Structure 1
Amino acid sequence: MRDPRHVRTARLWLDEPVEADADDLYAIHSDPASWVHFPSGRMTDPAAGPVMVGASRRRFDRDGLAYWSVRDADGGPVVGRGGCAVPDEALDADPTGRGWWNLYYRFDQRVLGRGYATEMGATALAAARSVAPERPVLAYLVEHNHASRRTAERLDLRLVWRGPDAANPDPHAVRLVYLDREPDDGLVAALAAEGMGPAGLVG
């Protein structure tokens, strides 16, 4: 991939976020309809918009890849945020120091049903494998988010862990972890450090 900061797909413009994207990103992430499956995750502070922009730019500089602002028209409004980024905690948790790519996708409710998450996700997987193929790609989601599960499965990710979602105020919530490869010992140890021990690994 020539320039992971700016990628064009059949229908989407995927770009490193800029300051002007902050309001659109916050609008998507503060919409209660975007968080039906995880209400406590909804953003309520407008400062979150600039924070998302800054986090992506910092990770592009550090890792060569991060979450994009997604548009479906050249120069149009941001309709989503997604891609692959290395979470800071992944570097801390992984004893190999390798970390992992986290695949993320969240879109404006008005564009759902168009397959944008799958289109963006496939491009993100290709970018992650181009930039640092030694890092596995993980997708975390809650079990009752069936649309997100379908996206992960369309991208040929494999369910490797199922268990309690420790960070979720809902005591009945179940967390799923999808992966693009067989987990090695280092990744199993890292997942255990994140509260997802071997007992939850799906064979």
Structure 2
Amino acid sequence: METVQTARLVLSRVMPEDLDAVHEIHSDPRTSVYHPSGPVTDLESSRAMLDLWLADWDERGLGYWAARLPGDPHVLGFGGLRHAVVDGAEVLNLYYRFRPSAWGHGYAVELARAALRVGKGLGTVVAVIRDVNLPSHRVAERAGMRKDRTIPYGGVPSDVYVA
């Protein structure tokens, strides 16, 4: 589903013109505090990230969305489902990252719930979350996921949440 409307958000397939928003959000140290490698530091790294996301849509018909308020072109964040291998298993990985100005409004939970609805019946949906990332744990739990196990992921202990 390339576009999904929730109660407050329009979630649409990422597009090449989302590059500036991808870079703004992923280069902000506040949004990457729990990411083992820290924030993205250059535009080319953001472009490579976006290119992977675009390829997911082109090759698999599923990928990350840009989240916006209806009628507003400003991107609040990114998230959705992406095919991945986690702990040796093919899964749909749930991802969400929002700009700090969008924090505290429940947008990540709303996006996560929409992604879980889309992913239902398509495979196992997981969210891999650093063990110390309590805000992201709360999002996964509020979206209806439960902690299944802890694994080393990206060189750090991470909790695997399942739908």
**Is the TM value for this pair above 0.5?**
yes
- The 5 A counterparts of 1:53-202 are 53-87=50-84, 90=85, 93-94=88-89, 99-129=90-120, 133-165=121-153, 167-168=155-156, 174-180=157-163
Letter in 1 for 2:118: A
1:150 and 1:107, CA in 2 relative to 1: closer, same or farther beyond 3 A? same
Structure-2 residue corresponding to 1:189: none
Q: CA offset at residue 62 of structure 1?
A: 2.4
User: What TM-score do you get using the length of structure 2 for normalisation?
Assistant: 0.90
Structure 1 CA distance for aligned equivalents of residues 115 and 103 of structure 2: 18
Kindly indicate whether the alpha-carbon contact (under 8 Å) linking 2:129 and 2:158 is maintained by their aligned counterparts in 1. yes
Structure (1 or 2) with the greater strand fraction: 2
Partners of 1:107 and 1:43 lie apart in 2 by 14
- Partners of 1:18 and 1:137 lie apart in 2 by 24
Whole-angstrom CA distance in 2 between matches of 1:25 and 1:58:
15
**Take 2:46 and 2:29, find their aligned partners in 1: how far apart are those partners?**
16
The one-letter amino acid paired with 1:71 is: R
Q: Deviations over 1:61-119 (max 9, x none)?
A: 222211111112424211101001102xx29x44xxxx210000000001100000000
Q: Is 1:7 aligned to 2:4, yes or no?
A: yes
Q: What SS does structure 1 have at the residue aligned with 2:71?
A: coil
In structure 2, distance between residues paired with 1:20 and 1:100: 28
In the alignment of these two chains, the number of paired residues is 163
Alpha-carbon distance in structure 2 between the residues aligned to 1:150 and 1:117? 10
Percent identical pairs in the alignment equals: 34
Cα 1:100–1:163 change in 2 (3 A) is closer
Aligned equivalents of 1:9, 1:54: Cα separation in 2: 26
The Cα shift of 1:40 comes to 2.1
Q: 1:116 to 1:36 in 2, by over 3 A?
A: same
1:159-193, Cα deviation, whole Å (9 max, x unpaired): 1112444524xxxxx3101112xxxxxxxxxxxxx
Superposed CA RMSD in Å reads 2.0
Alignment of 1:31-42 (within 5 A): 31-38=28-35, 40-42=37-39
**Gaps (5+ residues) in structure 2?**
none
Stretches of 4+ moved more than 3 A in 1? Answer: 163-166
Given residue 26 of structure 2, which amino acid in structure 1 is its aligned partner?
H
Structure 1: which 5+ runs fail to align?
169-173, 181-203
